[in-house]
Structure 1
Amino acid sequence: MNPRHHLDEATVLSFAAGALSPEMVAVAATHMEVCGLCRERLSGAERIGGALLGQQQPAVGDTARGARLREAMLGLLDEEPKIEASQAAAPASSNDAPAADCLPSPLQPYFGRSWRALRWRWMAPGVHMIRAARGSGDTLILLKIAPGKSMPMHSHQGTELTQILQGAYNDALGHFAPGDVADLDNEIEHQPITAPGVPCVCVAALDAPLRFPGWLARKLQPLVGL
């Protein structure tokens, strides 16, 4: 898998700084599992953050406490990628789902381990959705869209982070296939059209509702909650 669409640099920096919501982290980490480039950029961001942290001077009279805080924060920066890597590389136990049936590990706390166990909810003709339990306030959803389906034109009131898991879609920004991520802000307006062949399955995190120019989509928006 060789992704052609990557996380924005600001997203990578926010990930390294721990400034993303858990829902955004789940999507970003799913992308990083399959994208060596973004993992390298994350490592660079963590090194820069660690160096900047090391240059900060504690207040006079609080040298020991400042040193402990710096050590703890640097330890977290060093430890977090190792934990994620060990989880990703851990061998499956006899109780785990087969590898081909496993969702990406960052999504398992929200949707479970097994693709086959997913319970899709009908949202519109050819469109099914699973919404994760609300956590930080952001929205995290799995979407399954039939081949050749045109989604409504929309823009964003905030940030949308979407990772393609299966299938593909096309929009004004290009062709998005498995491994690609769409890192979109409130200046982007697009209309995804799923590619022929197999359904397009993606995971998306949103920190604000979508904005639809069409009156019908606006009328239906409260029903689907996006």
Structure 2
Amino acid sequence: MTPRHHLDPATLVSRAAGALSPEMMAVVDTHLEGCPYCRQQLARAERVGGVLLNQRQPAGAGDTRHDQLRQDMLARLQDTTPVAPSPRESSTNRPAVDALPRPLQPYFGRRWSDLRWRWVAPGVHMIRAPEVSGHTLILLKIAPGKSMPIHSHGGSELTQILKGAYDDELGHFGPGDIADLDCEVEHQPVTSPGVPCICVAALDGPLVFRGWLARKLQPVVGL
């Protein structure tokens, strides 16, 4: 299935610059495995970054020079027309049925059948990866037709849909789609009927729940 929700250009620039945490990188690379469009955009970001670095004179400006380079890369990335992937590219690297996406295997193991889910709430199970850089990386399995608590984010969140689907204020997210969210987004995902929604999420800050019950349970869940 061709993804309909893609990585933000700023995330692609950070990926090209090697500026993402390992947890964020795992989710980004999982999306890139199945998204020819974002792979093309990443390649463009890497080419643009190389050209801009060659064009700029060495200077002692430090952070100012880095920030300007980032802004130039973003401007050039946003001034593009999406290119449809070729049929040959779309059909390559199809994973085995029981294999987890390769970027997630160092954190969760190789096979779906080996996962050991932990109950955290009615209809919600989770697996938390060991911390590498202080950010959170989790697998979530949410029962069909379940409404999650309304929440915003204390930082950035990347959520890649692996199986199933959900709907929220931003639209419908199915397998292969990624939600690239910041602290300005408040939403309430509702999983689709039929099969559980399984996703992998990386967070660099805690969730911010509106409801008092969710806030009370937050220390127990650890999100």
TM-score, normalised to structure 1, is 0.82
Q: 2:208 aligns with which of 189, 206, 211?
A: 211
Find the aligned partners of 1:190 and 1:54 in 2 and give their Cα distance.
42
**Count of equivalent residues:** 192
Structure 1 position 29 matched with structure 2 position 26: no
User: Partner residue of 1:131?
Assistant: 128
Identity of paired residues, percent?
73
Secondary structure of the residue aligned to 1:101 is coil
TM-superposed CA distance for 1:56, in Å, is 3.8
For 1:3 and 1:52, how far apart are their aligned partners in 2? 30
Q: Which residue of 2 aligns with 1:10?
A: 10
Structure 2, unmatched stretches of 5+, are 60-91
Whole-Å separation in 2 of the counterparts to 1:58 and 1:195: 53
Shift >6 Å, 4+ stretches? none
Please give the alpha-carbon distance, in whole angstroms, between the structure 2 residues aligned to 1:19 and 1:52. 17
Per-residue CA deviation, residues 185-220 of structure 1 (Å, 9 max, x unaligned), is 000000000000000000000000000010000000
What's the offset of the Cα at 1:33? Answer: 0.5
How far the C-alpha of 1:54 sits from its partner, in A, is 1.9
2-side partners of 1:203 and 1:167: how far apart?
12
Q: Which of 100, 103, 111 is 2:100 aligned to?
A: 103
Letter of the 1:216 counterpart: L
Distance 1:56 1:187 in 2: 34
Aligned to 1:169: 166
CA–CA distance in 2 between the matches of 1:122 and 1:56?
A: 53
Whole-angstrom CA distance in 1 between matches of 2:202 and 2:103: 13
Give the drift of 1:53.
2.0
Q: Give the counterpart of 2:119 among 113, 119, 122.
A: 122
Asked if residue 181 in structure 1 is aligned to residue 178 in structure 2, the reply is: yes
Aligned counterparts of 1:184 and 1:56: Cα–Cα separation in 2? 32
The whole-number CA distance in structure 1 between the counterparts of 2:181 and 2:2 is: 20
2:170 and 2:56 map into 1 onto residues whose CA distance is: 41
Q: Write the distance in 1 (CA, Å) between the matches of 2:101 and 2:56.
A: 37
Which has the greater radius of gyration? 1
* C-alpha distance in structure 2 between counterparts of 1:4 and 1:203, whole Å: 17
Q: Deviations over 1:123-155 (max 9, x none)?
A: 101100000000001000000000001100000
Partners in 2 of 1:134 and 1:58 — Cα distance?
37
- Map residues 50-129 of structure 1 onto 2, 5 A cutoff: 50-58=50-58, 99-129=96-126
Q: Distance in 1 between matches of 2:97 and 2:215?
A: 38
Structure 1: state its 5+ residue gaps.
60-87, 92-97
TM-score between the two structures when normalised by the length of structure 2: 0.83
Distance 2:50 2:193 in 1: 46
Distance 1:188 1:201 in 2: 21
